[in-house]
Amino acid sequence: MSKKEIIAQLEKNVELLLEAHQKALRDNGELQKRCNHLESKLKKVQDELLEKRKRIEVLELSSSVSSSQGNNSAKVLIDRLLREVDKCIETVSSRL
């Protein structure tokens, strides 16, 4: 192979690499957008789940308090909620 052929082959390979690099950059950008969208969607679903769980707790507490048989379970639930509030207060206090 002559020097000109080697140089021509190298130039061709460099062009192919540059094209592949540009394609990889485009693909990466598209994947990054998709990832950001999915992360946003996940956060929304997690927030909704948290809301639903809190709503369930409120309904369980309401149901427990209204029934005479649920007094013990209501106390347990209230104790758990109070512990959770205490943890939140402790966390906030430690950050100050």
Per-residue pLDDT reduced to its tens digit, 54-96: 888 878 777 766 665 556 777 777 788 888 888 888 888 787 6
**3-state SS, residue 39:** helix
Longest dimension (CA), the chain: 97
- Check residue 71 and give its pLDDT: 66
Which pair of tokens denotes residue 20? 């592949």
13-68 pLDDT tens trace: 999 999 999 999 999 999 999 999 999 999 999 999 999 988 888 787 777 666 65
What are the residue ranges spanned by the domains of the chain? 3-95
Under the banding of pLDDT at 50, 70 and 90, the label for residue 8 is very high
